[in-house]
Amino acid sequence: MKERKLYDINAPNASTGIINGESSNVLNWDDVRFNWAYPMYKNMLANFWTPFEINMSNDRKQWPELSSDEQETFKKIIGLLAFLDSIQTDYSSKVADYLTDSSLAALMQVLSFQEVVHNQSYSYVLSSLVDKHEQDQIFEYWKHDEILLERNNFIAEGYERFVEEKTPQAFIESVVYDVVLEGLFFYAGFAFFYNLARNQKMVSTSTMINYINRDELIHVNLFAHIFKETLNENPELDTKENMQFVTDTFKKAVDLEVKWGQHIIGNKIDGINMNELEDYIKYTANKRCKLLGVDAPYPEIKGNPLKWIKAYKEVDEGKSDFFEQKSRQYTKVSDTNGFDEL
Amino acid sequence: MKERKLYDINAPNASTGIINGESSNVLNWDDVRFNWAYPMYKNMLANFWTPFEINMSNDRKQWPELSSDEQETFKKIIGLLAFLDSIQTDYSSKVADYLTDSSLAALMQVLSFQEVVHNQSYSYVLSSLVDKHEQDQIFEYWKHDEILLERNNFIAEGYERFVEEKTPQAFIESVVYDVVLEGLFFYAGFAFFYNLARNQKMVSTSTMINYINRDELIHVNLFAHIFKETLNENPELDTKENMQFVTDTFKKAVDLEVKWGQHIIGNKIDGINMNELEDYIKYTANKRCKLLGVDAPYPEIKGNPLKWIKAYKEVDEGKSDFFEQKSRQYTKVSDTNGFDEL
Ligand SMILES: [Ca+2]
Ligand SMILES: [Ca+2]
């Protein structure tokens, strides 16, 4: 694949293709290849947040009152997220180099930036709750925990292939791994935090997780757009085999995510039933597959089995509002307001 | 030079060198190589802004009342900035790949993100003032204007060398070109907007330019840190020849910037004297050279000759405050409050 040039005096501003095209690389938002790009950019900026906005003092008080299982799971999830968001920052920045349109590269830069903020939130949370030594240990869980290793290797290998072999086929495969990472592998962990929050525990951390979740939903949409436009412009990639690859990858990913769910949640966390969590993981995989244009791999799962999960419907629907969201508070979590988005 | 690995299970989180070191690539802000990195990160986040915050209706009303020279200069400067910030987005993202410490890569991602916002501000301003056809033309000035071409080629060649040949020597040279771009080549243009603003013209556009200027000051500091740490850790690069390279590059850059200043400002813009502008350019070059650890190339210039330029002293000094700056208004421009920072 052709890397986007630093500048090209003979090329137009709007690129001639999503990959392997020509582009001046000068960004004029009113002259770009895809009309969904600018609204998505505006949405991403509207979602700006920083961990500094969030006061950790209540969480700090509640931390010693969590059960040791809850503390253990909390730390493992943060350890997982720290690893995944770190490699995600780099993967997205490498993807940016191969998207010909400067507006898509720009979206990818905004995404990388958001991953940086997510990463910082993990240091920020841990430094409020545990001592420096324990924080450093948690940041190394990914090196030792076997279930974590297996799961992370699954993604990392999908990314590595694209990093090493820059072909359109490796590219679209890596995008599927991305949608697994951002659209599935975070979700058992997210559910744990939402469950804490609905029990009025660790609400600040959960608010941060919710902001991260909101960002991830847009990331998933962005990568799904990229996947579908790449197939559309390169019909030789739009094959049965590649559709099957999506299904197979998500099925493997679901197995890993369920295993991880059993490891961190199982039957030891009050309020989360493991069978429901498994269905929730499958429900989420169905949504991501449909977004990529593939049939649901688990047609028996019809709706969200974790009704209590607070969702941010307006974000999915592109109705976010900058100033309103700035002051959004995490106050509406209840058993009754569950809707069907996460 | 070694590209930072996606992840490295055998390496520590804090890297073993600024370039060509080892790093797990998992970012724990409380375990990074350089203690200036986290405060700088916080500062960059604190400076978050978006063009959408800025209401362009007054500028739109004033636009037809500008002299044709003012309009022409306004458009040329925006055309210049659009090109430079576009290639800057990509250059900084490539630099990120070769900084071993994940915190420095993160800072570089934040910087790239800010360039994306700067770029968007140029579309935003132009789409408020001129029709789509004229906007598209302005985004192509860099392809035709000879003085612009000469100036842009100077930077782009410095960057291209690093893009093509990834050696530590090409790297530090490209960093010097970066400091020229972000610390000098924007400044005649900035002066033009500050001069409009002190005459109560185009205050919204000038506010945006001021936000951009505030960001650029941090970028220059970041690249200066990278330059000095790289020389410090790689003494074979800390040579008389490289110090001379800084001086020579800035002298060439000053000549090009003065030529550009004559082209866009000369004696046709009320309120800016070309001799003073030339001294201001040299004054700025002196500051940047000193920041890089090199003697001032123009020792005869003692202070800022454009006393009226509104400066953001607190940013230089790291005293920025997130919520305060959010509502900062551009109201204090006067002949008397000039201090010596820009
Ligand atoms: Ca993400
Ligand atoms: Ca810049």
- Chain A nearest-CA distance from B80, in A, is 11
- Chain B nearest-CA distance from A90, in A, is 7
**Distance in Å, CA A115 to ligand 1 centroid:** 6
Length of chain A as a residue count: 342
By the CB criterion, residues less than 5 angstroms from ion ligand 2 are B 88, 182, 216, 219
From A184, A217, A187, A213, select the one nearest A289 (Cα to Cα).
A184
> Using the 8-state DSSP alphabet, how is residue B29 labeled?
T
First to last CA, chain A: 35
From B241, B164, B220, select the one nearest B342 (Cα to Cα).
B220
**Poorest-confidence range of A315-329, B66-80, B117-131, B193-207?**
A315-329
- Rounded CA gap, B260 and B146, in Å? 10
- CB burial string B119-129: b at 16+ within 10 A, e below: bbbbbbbbebb
Average pLDDT over residues A259-267: 95
Specify the amino acid at residue B16. Answer: T
In this structure, what token pair is assigned to residue A274?
């493991």
pLDDT of residue B321: 34
- Rounded CA gap, A225 and A212, in Å? 20
- Which band of pLDDT confidence, cut at 50, 70 and 90, is reported for residue A107? very high
A52: number of Cβ within 10 Å: 13
Decide: B192 and B240 in contact? Cβ < 8 Å: no
User: Which residue among A26, A31, A143 places its CB closest to the CB of B142?
Assistant: A26
User: What is the SS3 assignment for B283?
Assistant: helix
pLDDT of residue A130: 97
Decide: A120 and A49 in contact? Cβ < 8 Å: no
Average pLDDT over residues A169-186: 96
Maximum distance among all Cα pairs of chain A, rounded to whole angstroms: 64
- Which band of pLDDT confidence, cut at 50, 70 and 90, is reported for residue B311? low
Check whether B195 has a pLDDT greater than 60.
yes
Question: What integer best gives the mean pLDDT of chain A?
Answer: 89
Decide: B300 and B21 in contact? Cβ < 8 Å: no
> What is the signed CA dihedral for A99, A105, A110, A115, rounded to 10 degrees?
40
Yes or no, beta carbons of B7 and A87 under 8 Å apart: yes
CATH entry, A39-326, from 1.10.3720.10, 1.10.620.20, 1.10.10.10, 3.40.190.10: 1.10.620.20
For Cα atoms A4, B4, A218, give the angle at the middle one, nearest 5 degrees.
60
Ligand nearest to the CA of B114: 2
The single residue listed with the structure tokens 């790289």 is B230
- Chain B nearest-CA distance from A123, in A, is 6
User: Which residue among B42, B105, B119 places its CB closest to the CB of A106?
Assistant: B119
From B339, B52, B335, select the one nearest B207 (Cα to Cα).
B52
Check whether B93 has a pLDDT greater than 90.
no
- Chain A nearest-CA distance from B269, in A, is 28
Catalytic residue positions of B, numbered:
122
**Distance in Å, CA A213 to ligand 1 centroid:** 8
Check whether B140 has a pLDDT greater than 90.
yes
Check whether A262 has a pLDDT greater than 80.
yes
- Rounded CA gap, B114 and B117, in Å? 5
Average pLDDT over residues B106-135: 96
- Rounded CA gap, A7 and B160, in Å? 10
> Using the 8-state DSSP alphabet, how is residue A139 labeled?
T
Q: Is the dihedral of CA A224, A229, A232, A236 positive or negative?
A: negative
Percent of chain A residues past pLDDT 90, beyond the cut: 77
Over residues B14-61, the pLDDT tens digits come to: 999 999 999 999 999 999 999 999 999 999 999 899 999 899 999 999
Over residues A21-50, the pLDDT tens digits come to: 999 999 999 999 999 999 999 999 998 999
Size of the A and B interface in Cβ pairs below 8 Å: 163
pLDDT of residue A215: 93
Check whether B155 has a pLDDT greater than 80.
yes
Check whether A333 has a pLDDT greater than 60.
no
Check whether A312 has a pLDDT greater than 60.
no
pLDDT of residue B138: 96
User: Which residue among A26, A48, A115 places its CB closest to the CB of B83?
Assistant: A26
Average pLDDT over residues B112-140: 96
Burial status of residue A316 (CB atoms within 10 A of its CB: 0-12, 13-18, 19 or more)? middle
CA distances from A240 to A179, A246, A286, A287, A290 (A): 19, 10, 18, 19, 15
Show residues of chain B in contact with A27, CB under 8 Å.
Answer: 82, 86, 89, 116, 119-120, 123
Decide: A283 and A301 in contact? Cβ < 8 Å: yes
Check whether B6 has a pLDDT greater than 70.
yes
Restricting to B residues 68-127, those with a Cβ less than 8 Å away from any Cβ of A are 82-83, 86-87, 89-91, 93-94, 96-97, 102, 105-106, 109-110, 112-113, 115-117, 119-120, 122-124, 127
pLDDT of residue A311: 55
CATH code: domain B37-326 is 1.10.620.20
Decide: B122 and B27 in contact? Cβ < 8 Å: no
